[in-house]
């Protein structure tokens, strides 16, 4: 099984894929503000003990909301590292390159993709 995570919009999508990368289960939920902290509980609810049998993780890296993309990519990287399974990222509009999942273990984290510099805060005036 493979786990696919997409948090690039307010509608979060978690999918369980079979060995042929066909969707065997799909969970969609609109995320309210500050609800990202329960994302792991959604994944546990969906995959549970099957996560130990996961062969890889696929994550959408953007573009999208700065915070939601960062949360999804961080969760996917953390899970792949802790389970020692491969991870791949893909951008919206691109097809995931599933062949990259044929490696046997975690090799490197994926990075979020933003179309522009994040506008997190305005520069503060110096005193």
- Give the bridge partners for 58, in sequence order: 4, 88
For the segment 57-115, what is each residue's pLDDT rounded down to a tens digit? 999 999 988 888 888 999 999 999 999 999 999 999 998 988 888 888 898 999 999 87
Q: How far is 95 from 89, CA to CA, in rounded Å?
A: 10
Q: Is 109 helix (H, G, I), strand (E, B) or coil?
A: coil
For the segment 11-25, what is each residue's pLDDT rounded down to a tens digit? 889 999 999 999 999
pLDDT of residue 10 exceeding 90, the answer is no
pTM: 0.85
Report all structural domains of the chain as residue ranges with CATH numbers, in order of start: 2-102 (3.30.420.40)
């Amino acid at each position: 099984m493979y786990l696919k995570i997409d948090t690039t919009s307010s509608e979060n999508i978690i999918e369980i894929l079979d060995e042929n990368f066909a969707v065997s289960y799909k969970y969609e939920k609109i995320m309210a503000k500050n609800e990202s902290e329960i994302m792991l509980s959604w994944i546990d609810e969906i995959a549970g003990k099957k996560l130990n049998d996961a062969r890889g993780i696929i994550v959408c890296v953007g573009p999208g909301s700065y915070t939601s993309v960062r949360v999804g990519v961080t969760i996917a990287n953390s899970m792949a590292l802790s389970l020692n399974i491969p991870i791949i990222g893909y951008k919206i509009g691109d097809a995931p390159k599933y062949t990259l999942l044929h490696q046997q273990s975690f090799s490197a984290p994926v990075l979020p993709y933003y179309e522009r510099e994040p506008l997190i805060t305005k520069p503060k005036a110096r005193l």
